[in-house]
Structure 1
Amino acid sequence: MKTVYIALGSNLNTPIEQLNQALVALTQLPDSTLSAVSSFYQSRPLGPQDQPDYVNAVACLQTELAPLALLDALQHIENTQGRVRLRRWGERTLDLDILLYDELILQSERLTLPHYDMKNREFVIVPLYEIAPQLVLPDGEKLTDLAARFADHQMKILKK
């Protein structure tokens, strides 16, 4: 089994419920087990500020699915929950991003691993640190060091 970390985010159509539904869908993936979920955090939008705040979390999945098969499955979950991409970094019903897939480093048209900008996002690093504080990224960087950069984050915990 591979250890995979997935970022979840929503700011439309009852975001907490969207994340809860996505977590249920993750438990139903073939050859996979949901092993940990962070608290839910309220965060300001990364992109345009004329949209609602987000609810974010990170989940840990143990899976036998190959990276692109997992990506397809996550996109299916997004689409099932009504995902529409209106604008870059804009509002969305559900966003599921693969952050890390074991120690894999991958650059393809469809998928970049580790996630290309995860180190700069408090709404990723803080919940990831909550569930995997001893994690070391494939480049050797300790999650502890990244989390220290976001010690003064302004996110609000909505659900533990």
Structure 2
Amino acid sequence: MLAYVGLGSNLGDRAGYLLAALSRLSRLPKTRLRRLSPVYETAPVGPPQPFYLNLVAELDTGLGPRELLQALLEVEKALGRERKERWGPRTIDLDLLLYGDLVLEEEGLQVPHPRLHERAFVLVPLVDLLPEGRHPTLGVRFAELLAALDASGVSPLVL
């Protein structure tokens, strides 16, 4: 199953945390890291805090959605993620954005991600990977959802 994971970091060595998370994702059982979007520097949502580095990873996985979410949470924990403040700064943030075309709403797990369509910092890199992709519940192309948002706080990272 193709799954899409949003990665973000805004504390410490942001690029280092993203690379460490990608390395761990590439070693998940029954999972292959297929493609990555470009990396973007993005303005934070929520309280004042440092800018983020964000990207989206495409995974080909045999893990179920709950298993994959659990693996993402374990990677966050291993990389020092502390959940102190909603939308607060973090070493690493991993969000399960899409799991094929699955629509799922369970306690602690919603697919597609419930705020996917509201966030330019997710949609910009997702459109890089899925230029013709459609939101599974809204039926609207991701590019159209992005066009309706202010993406001025999302800048390609030039290394």
- TM-score normalized with structure 1 length: 0.93
Aligned to 1:102: 100
* Partner SS state of residue 126, structure 1: helix
Structure 2 segments unaligned to the other structure (5+ residues):
none
Aligned to 2:135: 137
Distance in 1 (alpha carbons) for counterparts of 2:32 and 2:17 = 19
* Partner SS state of residue 9, structure 1: strand
Structure 1 segments unaligned to the other structure (5+ residues):
none
The alpha-carbon deviation at position 149 of structure 1 amounts to: 2.4
Q: Deviations over 1:108-136 (max 9, x none)?
A: 11101110011010000000001111112
* 8 Å CA contact 2:42, 2:52 repeated in 1: yes
**Cα 1:109/1:156, change in 2 over 3 Å:** same
Aligned to 1:158: 157
* Partner SS state of residue 157, structure 2: strand
The letter for the 2-side match of 1:125 is L
Percent identity among equivalent residues? 41
Distance in 1 (alpha carbons) for counterparts of 2:52 and 2:84 = 16
Q: CA RMSD, aligned part only?
A: 1.4
The letter for the 1-side match of 2:55 is A
Distance in 2 (alpha carbons) for counterparts of 1:13 and 1:152 = 25
Aligned to 1:12: 11
* Partner SS state of residue 34, structure 1: strand
Q: Please identify runs of 4+ aligned residues in structure 1 that moved more than 4 A.
A: none
* 8 Å CA contact 1:39, 1:159 repeated in 2: no
Distance in 2 (alpha carbons) for counterparts of 1:15 and 1:152 = 21
Aligned to 2:88: 90
Distance in 2 (alpha carbons) for counterparts of 1:20 and 1:75 = 16
The letter for the 1-side match of 2:142 is L
**Cα 1:152/1:81, change in 2 over 3 Å:** closer
Distance in 2 (alpha carbons) for counterparts of 1:5 and 1:73 = 14
Distance in 2 (alpha carbons) for counterparts of 1:34 and 1:62 = 6
The alpha-carbon deviation at position 96 of structure 1 amounts to: 0.2
- TM-score normalized with structure 2 length: 0.94
The letter for the 2-side match of 1:66 is G
Distance in 2 (alpha carbons) for counterparts of 1:134 and 1:106 = 22
**Cα 1:17/1:159, change in 2 over 3 Å:** farther
The alpha-carbon deviation at position 147 of structure 1 amounts to: 2.6
* Partner SS state of residue 133, structure 1: coil
Aligned to 1:55: 53
* 8 Å CA contact 2:118, 2:149 repeated in 1: no
